[in-house]
Structure 1
């Protein structure tokens, strides 16, 4: 990670992304790289309502969506590059089916 970036660690719940065993993390790596680590435990309560609001049309998220890309483009996106055909929105979705 580059200095000033943020690492998001998703917790348990419907998604269940935490490892079954403890991970070794040297906190000096975070401090010396000026990286922020954020853990979220209860994030799984939100997606159902968000999905329902988008499905029924009560929320229009299109202005936020810049592009959808496949896994092959993930490294470029995470490096800060936007697709040439991206719309003005801030969100770029990564769809592993593409």
Structure 2
């Protein structure tokens, strides 16, 4: 699932984020910040907004930790975990 999310993140970055990077130029192991894709704070905030929209998840303030955005693989694992958690909460509410 995380590999699929990595590919979706690459497409979001290349097609919807104003960073002028092609999908094929995005290495999922590179940092999103310095010495990597070099996202600034504006690009990072836009990416968070796009992630919330595309994956139907919501980041809490405590989850806006640079550690979760260290590279696309780490971010994809985090999104995957949030998606599973959201589904569990939805099923729990339905079954209540």
Q: Do both share a fold (TM > 0.5)? A: no
Higher Rg: 1
Interval of TM-score (by shorter of Structure 1 and Structure 2): under 0.3
The structure whose RCO (Cα within 8 Å, separation 6+) is larger is 2
Greater helix share, 1 or 2?
2
Greater strand share, 1 or 2?
1
